[in-house]
């Protein structure tokens, strides 16, 4: 699965979820794109919405805040250009169909928020654009996720589109208590759904994101802020600041290096240890020339320069053609082949 030029089968994609932490300032959003890039993010992600299509006016406090945070289409065009200039992928989550249509020309993939993974009209609208979909799975169980994916895949089948959905394990709480992060679900998603899986993190700190990488997440999304105490907007406090995000990126890359490939083979660093650490068949007592070797005469010692364990048949029941001292590794020429 590719997002832009990023191949998720080869490298974990780390996404800085700026979301609404810009608090309505496009210049601050541009600054955060730069900070995320410096911290090592592969992509930045925003939220695109028309507040009237997203929040009820009967919730005036929330409506007012989101309206203040709302960026215009021209703002997002500007942010997209900034990301391209810097060299970082631009992503944004649409929260209404018009926003999805607008973003279709800007983003290489669509992200669906947990609150909308059952929003059939939005899923159908996004699927019709034929781009990869990152599906957050908060508020959903496995059956719910399969239903969401089926909606998308039906549209793709009807339109002859070959594309993929990546399910991102997510717990839709802000923040998520550590004991409810439920990171073991990442393995279930991978085994039950197949394909690429990821993790959208709402825990405090960076440990959950790093652990998710070790458990097989190929997309890691972490909220990102320039200042965790900037305002009372809750997302700042659960976000990683630039220093924390950079440390998270470093640790995820270390994890990825340690995981390596699903191929059990002798590693270059251990090849030189084969002879010193392997064992050879030896004698545990002095054995004069012409003696018949019995199993009780044998021992197995390092290094592995002689006859290896498992080939005792080459010496047991054979006579020696030289004196062997206790602890001596039996050379292949030390016994007479074929003689009783």
Q: pTM for this one?
A: 0.90
The predicted model gives 109-123 an average pLDDT of: 98
The predicted model gives 271-288 an average pLDDT of: 97
CATH class for domain 270-334?
alpha beta
Task: Read off the pLDDT of residues 3-39 as tens digits, 9 standing for 90 and up.
Answer: 999 999 999 999 999 999 999 999 999 999 999 999 9
Domain boundaries, the chain: 7-259, 270-334
The C-alpha atoms of residue 142 and residue 189 are separated, in whole angstroms, by 8
Closest to 157 (Cα-Cα) out of 166, 169, 165, 167: 165
Class of residue 101 by CB neighbours under 10 A (exposed 0-12, middle 13-18, buried 19+):
middle
* pLDDT at res. 259: 93
The 10 Å Cβ neighbour count of residue 90 is 22
Give the mean pLDDT of the chain: 96
The C-alpha atoms of residue 134 and residue 112 are separated, in whole angstroms, by 6
The predicted model gives 281-292 an average pLDDT of: 97
Sign of the dihedral defined by the CA atoms of residues 172, 173, 177, 179, in that order: negative
Q: What are phi and psi of 320, to 5 degrees?
A: -80, 145
Q: Give CATH for domain 7-259.
A: 3.20.20.70
* pLDDT at res. 229: 94
pLDDT confidence band for 199 (50 / 70 / 90)? very high
* Half-sphere CA count of 97, side-chain side, radius 13 A: 9
Q: 7-259 and 270-334: same fold?
A: no
Whether the pLDDT of residue 150 is over 60: the answer is yes
The C-alpha atoms of residue 238 and residue 285 are separated, in whole angstroms, by 69
Share of the chain above pLDDT 90, in %: 97
Share of the chain above pLDDT 70, in %: 99
Whether the pLDDT of residue 339 is over 70: the answer is no
* pLDDT at res. 340: 43
The predicted model gives 183-190 an average pLDDT of: 97
The C-alpha atoms of residue 285 and residue 307 are separated, in whole angstroms, by 17
* pLDDT at res. 338: 53
């Amino acid at each position: 699965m590719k997002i832009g030029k990023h191949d998720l089968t080869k490298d974990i994609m780390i996404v800085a979820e700026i979301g609404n932490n810009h608090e309505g300032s496009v210049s601050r959003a541009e600054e955060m794109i730069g900070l995320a890039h410096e911290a090592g993010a592969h992509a930045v992600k925003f939220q695109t919405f028309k507040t009237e299509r997203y929040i009820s006016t009967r919730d005036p406090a929330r409506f007012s805040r989101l309206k203040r945070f709302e960026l215009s289409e021209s703002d997002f065009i500007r942010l997209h250009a900034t990301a391209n200039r810097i060299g970082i992928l631009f992503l944004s989550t649409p929260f209404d169909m018009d926003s999805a249509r607008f973003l279709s020309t800007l983003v290489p993939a669509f992200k669906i928020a947990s609150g909308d993974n059952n929003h059939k009209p939005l899923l159908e609208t996004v699927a019709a654009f034929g781009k990869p979909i990152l599906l957050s799975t908060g508020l959903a169980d496995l059956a719910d996720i399969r239903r969401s994916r089926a909606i998308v895949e039906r549209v793709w089948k009807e339109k002859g589109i070959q594309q993929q959905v990546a399910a991102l394990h997510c717990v839709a709480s802000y923040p998520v208590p550590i004991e409810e992060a439920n990171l073991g679900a990442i393995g279930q998603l991978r085994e039950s759904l197949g394909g690429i899986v990821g993790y959208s993190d709402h825990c405090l700190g960076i440990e959950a994101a790093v652990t998710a990488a070790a458990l097989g997440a190929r997309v890691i999304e972490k909220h990102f802020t320039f200042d965790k105490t900037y305002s009372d907007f809750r997302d700042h406090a659960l976000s990683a600041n630039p220093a924390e995000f950079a440390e998270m990126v470093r640790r995820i890359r270390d994890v990825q290096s340690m995981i390596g490939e699903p191929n059990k083979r002798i590693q270059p660093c251990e090849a030189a240890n084969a002879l010193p650490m392997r064992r050879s068949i030896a004698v545990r007592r002095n054995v004069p020339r012409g003696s018949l070797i019995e199993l009780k005469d044998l021992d197995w010692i390092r290094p592995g320069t002689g006859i290896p364990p498992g080939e005792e048949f080459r010496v047991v029941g054979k006579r020696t053609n030289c004196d062997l001292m206790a602890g001596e590794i039996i050379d292949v020429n030390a016994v007479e082949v074929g003689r009783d």
